[in-house]
A and B are shown apart, each in its own frame.
Chain A
């Protein structure tokens, strides 16, 4: 009989897989009470390191062409498809049924394709040329907010995670994500998918650990521009909303579970976008009109 090689689940920061700097771990259990794995119990310091990595990655990621971002998101779908069996197995290990697990993985893959397609389209749908009443050319275009903190849904360890990350990075942001506390396995395996998808290192950073310990970091860190809270705990949601004033963070609380078709739309992208309006004078000399 061959002894199975067990996987060490680490965290994902700056495109690398370090262990938590704290050396701590926690052990989520499956439905039968058996340990799933020893997961990294990420610390405040891990969070700060992840923000540094995200800030560093933000510039180059946001300046990639929209087409290129779309290509990379599509590549994520390809990598996910190739590892389908592994995700199904992990979801089942964490308490899902075969059928439900398969459904969740397929939805996650299709959602990657969905947002891959939006990368070079949302700008056209939501930007505008503004007909100002003076001799100026004036237009408004969307730009990513910067570094986004995401607390992924507690239920549905894969689809919740994927659905909150994808619109954020499709729009050119970088993010620091806290995975579901009790269903964390797919998050780290998804990080392995990201690491092999040509995604710039640091664009997505994934931590495992507890909301209780890290929630304050999300709203108090001065270099985080926005927070997406999908963890479902009202108390933590309120803590984020009321702590966000320190640097006027934008806060979005999503209460849906992301399992439905309607849980994907371009407004999840535009939530994490700033609108920039640019003015330039138009020369006004001579009498010729355009009616030649």
Chain B
């Protein structure tokens, strides 16, 4: 018997750099119009001013389409349509039928999911992987979830008699354009309100596709009106006297202006604002999983996430190891064409936001923090930033206090549990927080002491239509999602019991 010599030949080199071949999602299926009008009273109409503005693909800086700029008179027209639809049709429809319309919208969205995902990626710069697997399915599911509530409202709030509010004015941001439209429209309709919605100026396209879907669903004219425009359009909605409810998602700065504007008007208000969420890693955490969670926490959607885990707190004993692993992981992230299925980090949403992120990176350096950025190549055109982290960050540092809304992570260390609770809570914001530890009792200690509306333990950036979302402190008030999200769209009166 001859012994076969063991082969020492190396078949695969796991140490070298591996490259993926480009794998772009086809856009051939998508036919964008040259121009998008306003959706008012069941019709697509030109803005009164005749003004349009371009919306661009942030990954290529090319114009995708022209979009109508609604002014005060268009807003007034939309509110009148919404009021008329509320009085004459929507509030008279049985709750069951109302629910069925919402189900129908959800199904149509599912049928067009691929188109919606591609357009979302083109317009917002987010990776196709995320728009396909997160944004669009969650948006559909949101409609599904709230559709079923329409005829079950009486069970939601014990001993309250609930009724709809009337016309809801809704203003949404550019980071999750379609998903935020779903978060706003679905509960408003389920509760029996009609809607005037304004998408952000840099990401209006999926909202207009949603308008087409709503139109196709046969929803009565005027129940949902969608107006594109800038801040002045949003202001006209906030200040319109015949609106009963304002729902806003966006910056804390604008949220405060809206809170002041709405004061004394009797309009019901919910605000989902900014954040500077702490992600806390204890020495007993499963480090590799935690590193993945931290990366997902801050680099998901280019860091354009109000609940992004932008402040990392690492227990001192494992800081060196964790920071090294984070740096290694940063280097493996693919930054580039958002349409490529391999891309981890897509384009920054706009030139303006790119400038903001660069400004903060400079501030971080000027403040004396140590910067590390991925060594990856970034495309020559389009708005891109390398994933970046800062160590040696002081608690008082602006990059640790202010919301950057980009792929920039600050890292601080801690020794004791009391210290990290204090540091984590030392922020005007209170939207979310993350905790990584293997110890169950510590998880509950931490999750109950952190002053934030959403706490992820051993996970991060998870969302679901059944799960209420919203902040403490200057991150806003009111919740979206779940049974509790209905409350924002209902008037509640004493029920049958005496008290």
Contacts and interface: CB of A to CB of B under 8 A. Distances in A.
B263 A242 contact: yes
B209 to A, nearest CB: 24
Nearest to B157: A267
A180 interface: no
Interface string B453-488: 111111100101011111011111101001110000
Contacts of B483: 128
B259 interface: yes
A275 B476 contact: no
Contact of B453 (A133, A241, A263, A275): A275
A158 B498 CA distance: 22
A289 interface: no
Given A242-B264, A250-B477, A276 B453 contact: yes
Interface stretch (B73-81, B97-105, B250-258, B353-361): B250-258
Contact of B470 (A114, A241, A275, A279): A275
A248 B453 contact: no
A257 B443 CA distance: 44
Contacts of A250: 477
B453 A244 contact: no
Given A261-B499, A276-B455, A278-B455, A140 B482 contact: yes
A136 interface: yes
Contact of B428 (A125, A140, A247, A276): A247
A131 B145 CA distance: 11
Interface string A225-251: 100000000000110011011111010
B467 A277 contact: yes
Tier of interface size on chain A: 35 or more
A132 B464 contact: yes
A59 B69 CA distance: 49
A280 B470 CA distance: 18
A263 to B, nearest CB: 8
Contacts of A131: 466
Nearest to B474: A248
A114 B483 CA distance: 26
A211 B146 CA distance: 44
A275 B443 CA distance: 18
Interface in A121-167: 125, 128, 130-134, 136, 138, 140, 143, 145-146
Contact of B469 (A246, A277, A280): A277
Given A128-B482, A277-B453, A277-B467, A238 B458 contact: no
B464 A140 contact: no
A275 B471 CA distance: 8
B263 A279 contact: no
A277 B499 contact: no
Given A248-B474, A267-B492, A276-B452, A241 B273 contact: no
B163 interface: no
Given A131-B466, A138-B467, A248 B499 contact: no
A248 B263 contact: no
B240 interface: no
B416 to A, nearest CB: 17
B464 A248 contact: no
A23 interface: no
A114 B456 CA distance: 35
Given A245-B260, A276-B452, 17 more contacts: A125-B158, A128-B468, A130-B467, A131-B466, A133-B464, A134-B464, A140-B482, A225-B473, A248-B255, A248-B474, A261-B498, A265-B159, A277-B482, A279-B455, A279-B456, A280-B458, A280-B459
Across the A-B interface, give the 5 residue pairs with the lowest CB-CB distance, nearest first.
A242-B263, A241-B263, A132-B464, A245-B256, A245-B259
30 contacts: A125-B158, A128-B468, A130-B467, A132-B464, A132-B466, A132-B467, A133-B464, A138-B466, A138-B467, A140-B467, A146-B451, A237-B264, A241-B264, A242-B264, A244-B263, A245-B257, A246-B256, A248-B252, A248-B477, A262-B498, A267-B492, A274-B472, A275-B453, A276-B472, A277-B453, A278-B457, A279-B459, A279-B462, A280-B443, A281-B458
Interface of B: 141, 158-160, 252, 255-257, 259-260, 263-264, 271, 273, 428, 443, 447-448, 451-459, 462, 464, 466-470, 472-477, 479, 482-484, 492, 494, 498-499
